[in-house]
Amino acid sequence: MAFKITEETKQAVLQKIAKAKGTPVFVIDIEQLKKNYLRFRENLPDVQVYYAVKANSDPLIVKTLFDMGASFDVASLPEFHLVRKNLINLLPSEQQDFIWEKIIYAHPIKMIKTLHELEPYKPLMTFDNFDELEKIKRHCPSAGIVLRIEVPNRGSIVNLSSKFGASREDAINLAVKAFEMGFLVEGLSFHVGSQCTNFENYRNGLNFAAEVFEEAEKKGYKIRNSKTGRRILDIGGGFPAEEYNTGVMPFEELAKKLNAEIKKLFPGDIELIAEPGRFLVANTCTLVVSVIGRAFRHGIISYYIDEGLYGTFSGQVFDHQIYALKAFKGGEKEKCVIFGPTCDGFDTVSPSTNEKKYPCGLLPRMELGDLLYADNMGAYTLASATNFNGFPVAKAVYVNR
């Protein structure tokens, strides 16, 4: 969190919020979000940001980015309408007709009813297989289409290449087929995998894209944006949050390499877009929870807190991250187990036996009602929280707005 203050003052602010609002409370730092966005734009000035709403769909996060000039990657109808109804509707009416500059529907597989609902908006959307192409032609013929190609996701924490992207064998045939069906393929996209720490994935994606552009042209088809005449290249997300892993390349360095590779491969008529999610929001949120129960089990102290794996800590399951819980008070640390509030034994936020992997398994002795907090919980946390057992999701509170 980017409070321009010491850790001590930050803790005081968090405790004050928890006291006023109750827990679990999800504190969103809007100033940090703005900083992240500006950092992205400053280092990749030729790349338009299409924020991946799935990472955190909090309405103020989305609105703040919109106001700063961002566009959006959506992957479902509710995400589409979050942007269209709440934000696009604010634009002058002449800008509402053509939405590609503000939204890309970046899920390569869409339900038929979704395609029907999108049809009136003439959306820009991705595809990566022949059946989807037929589906789009039939149910959303107004769409502009972007071919998603498969790139290795080596070294990325979340692998997306097993599920999405046209292979080297299929990519060119798919592009040609689309042109033959009367589509104009507007561009190419790829995703290197989330929390990508391996630049080779980007290099691979860029080179593969350059080959497909060239190969299609050799066959007489120019992949290009039908509105601007420039080739769309969507370099996806994957930009890592530096707070998670040690050894993550600083964003400035990654951007420098990307800029150089792009300049080498695509001199001229290229329209670059990216879909960062995690990079923009991971370090913007801090969760504050309360200790609601305590027991000694098998010789180890166990704490029960009011948030768990079915809530904001779902990121530990789906996003493969561990969020270290910290105490507001000092004292000698001891091993502990931390359980979530539901009845499920799986709902264990921290076992005590592996402090390296689960650093939150070490805490000073806690009392009932004591507060704990975890930083860097902005991406893929609240987004995947459920109401299991009837527990509501954590409430969001904004600071530095």
Ligand X SMILES: Cc1ncc(COP(=O)(O)O)c(C=O)c1O
Q: Strand (E) positions, 30-159?
A: 47-52, 71-74, 103-105, 124-127, 144-148, 156-158
Kindly state the tokens that stand for 266: 């695509």
**Residue linked to tokens 């999701």:** 393
User: Shortest Cβ distance from residue 234 to ligand X (Å)?
Assistant: 8
Kindly state the tokens that stand for 214: 């060239």
CB-based burial label for 199 (10 Å; 0-12, 13-18, 19+): middle
Residue (34 or 191) nearer to ligand X, CB: 191
User: Looking at this protein, which amino acid is placed at residue 184?
Assistant: L
Q: Identify whether 343 is a catalytic site residue.
A: yes
Identified catalytic residue from 140, 285, 336, 343: 343
**Residue linked to tokens 């080297």:** 168
Kindly state the tokens that stand for 290: 């309360």
Residue (314 or 352) nearer to ligand X, CB: 314
* 340 interacts with ligand X by CB under 6 A: no
User: Looking at this protein, which amino acid is placed at residue 283?
Assistant: N
Of the candidates 106, 136, 146, 399, which one interacts with ligand X according to CB under 6 A? 106
Residue (360 or 383) nearer to ligand X, CB: 383
Of the candidates 28, 44, 49, 52, which one interacts with ligand X according to CB under 6 A? 52
User: Shortest Cβ distance from residue 106 to ligand X (Å)?
Assistant: 4
User: Shortest Cβ distance from residue 279 to ligand X (Å)?
Assistant: 6
The DSSP element (H or E) to which 249 belongs, if any, is none
Within 109-168, which residues bind ligand X (CB under 6 A)?
Answer: 160
Task: Return the bridge partners of 52, or none.
Answer: 73
Contact window for ligand X (CB under 6 A) among 169-177, 274-282, 315-323, 363-371: 274-282
Residue (318 or 346) nearer to ligand X, CB: 318
- If we measure between CA atoms, which residue out of 188, 392, 158 comes closest to residue 270? 188
CB-based burial label for 106 (10 Å; 0-12, 13-18, 19+): buried
User: Shortest Cβ distance from residue 71 to ligand X (Å)?
Assistant: 12
Residue (251 or 279) nearer to ligand X, CB: 279
Length of the chain: 401
Residue (58 or 370) nearer to ligand X, CB: 58
Kindly state the tokens that stand for 57: 């769909």
Query: How far apart are the C-alpha atoms of 387 and 396, rounded to whole Å?
Result: 15
Residue (39 or 365) nearer to ligand X, CB: 39
* 275 interacts with ligand X by CB under 6 A: yes
Contact window for ligand X (CB under 6 A) among 39-47, 76-84, 218-226, 269-277: 269-277
Kindly state the tokens that stand for 367: 């009392």
User: Shortest Cβ distance from residue 383 to ligand X (Å)?
Assistant: 10
Of the candidates 144, 187, 205, 277, which one interacts with ligand X according to CB under 6 A? 277
User: Shortest Cβ distance from residue 141 to ligand X (Å)?
Assistant: 23
Helix-strand-coil split of the chain, %, nearest 5: 35, 25, 40
Contact window for ligand X (CB under 6 A) among 28-36, 112-120, 233-241, 249-257: 233-241
Of the candidates 276, 340, 341, 378, which one interacts with ligand X according to CB under 6 A? 276
User: Shortest Cβ distance from residue 195 to ligand X (Å)?
Assistant: 6
User: Shortest Cβ distance from residue 28 to ligand X (Å)?
Assistant: 17
Q: Determine contact, residues 309/358, Cβ cutoff 8 Å.
A: no
* 271 interacts with ligand X by CB under 6 A: no
Within 234-253, which residues bind ligand X (CB under 6 A)?
Answer: 236-239
**Residue linked to tokens 């990472």:** 55
- If we measure between CA atoms, which residue out of 132, 143, 128, 149 comes closest to residue 235? 149
Residue (123 or 236) nearer to ligand X, CB: 236
**Interface mask (CB under 6 A) for ligand X, residues 177-206, using x and -?**
--------------x--x------------
DSSP code string of 276-304: -SHHHHGGGEEEEEEEEEEEEETTEEEEE
- If we measure between CA atoms, which residue out of 55, 30, 43 comes closest to residue 277? 55
Of the candidates 25, 47, 55, 394, which one interacts with ligand X according to CB under 6 A? 55
Please give the residue whose beta carbon sits closest to ligand X in the complex: 237
Contact window for ligand X (CB under 6 A) among 211-219, 230-238, 329-337, 351-359: 230-238
Kindly state the tokens that stand for 219: 């066959």
Active site residues: 343
Residues within the interface to ligand X (CB under 6 A): 52, 55, 73, 106, 160, 191, 194, 236-239, 275-279
